[in-house]
Amino acid sequence: MSKMIFVSLPIRDLTVSIGFYKALGFTQNAHFSDDTSACMVWSEAIYVMLLTHAKWRTFTQRPFPAAGTAGLMLSLAMDIRDDVDAMNNAAAASGGQADVNPPEDHGFMYTRDLADPDGHMWGIFWMDPAAVPPADQR
């Protein structure tokens, strides 16, 4: 079996969250979805499990983060720079929030951060590794 990551996120409204992630370009894996969770696929190695609060509680009793706080930010690399803008536009049009932090353009890297309807943060970026200057020149 190849190495994969399954990111589990507690969500309030499964239908809204499925629609949001589909708008960003994820596809839903029906085999791993039911009325309490949805498996959203980004790539062959990256899956996001959307779990209703009741389903989440079957995994842990730890408290949910307070609204407006951030416990982590997941980042997705895009193939072209324009895809960063397209994903942020899709987030804003689908119940999420674009530009939760100021966009950053370093020439070799461009990033814009968004949040899903439950406030889970995603860093969307494009980078040209060949153009990254040495650390002492950044």
Question: What CATH number is associated with residue 25?
Answer: 3.10.180.10
Per-residue pLDDT band for 85 (boundaries 50, 70, 90) equals very high
134: Cβ contacts below 8 Å, ≥ 6 apart:
none
The helix/strand/coil state of 20 is helix
Residue 132, pLDDT above cutoff 90 = no
**Domain stops at, among 10, 30, 61:** 61
Give, in order, the Cα–Cα distances in Å from 49 to each of 1, 54, 61: 19, 14, 18
Per-residue pLDDT band for 137 (boundaries 50, 70, 90) equals confident
Q: How far apart are CA 54 and CA 7, in angstroms?
A: 17
100-121 pLDDT, tens digit per residue, is: 999 999 999 999 999 999 999 9
Q: Which helix (H) or strand (E) holds 63?
A: none
Is there a domain that residue 99 lies in? yes
37-78 pLDDT, tens digit per residue, is: 999 999 999 999 999 999 999 999 998 888 778 778 999 999
Determine the structural domain holding residue 53 and report its residue range.
1-61
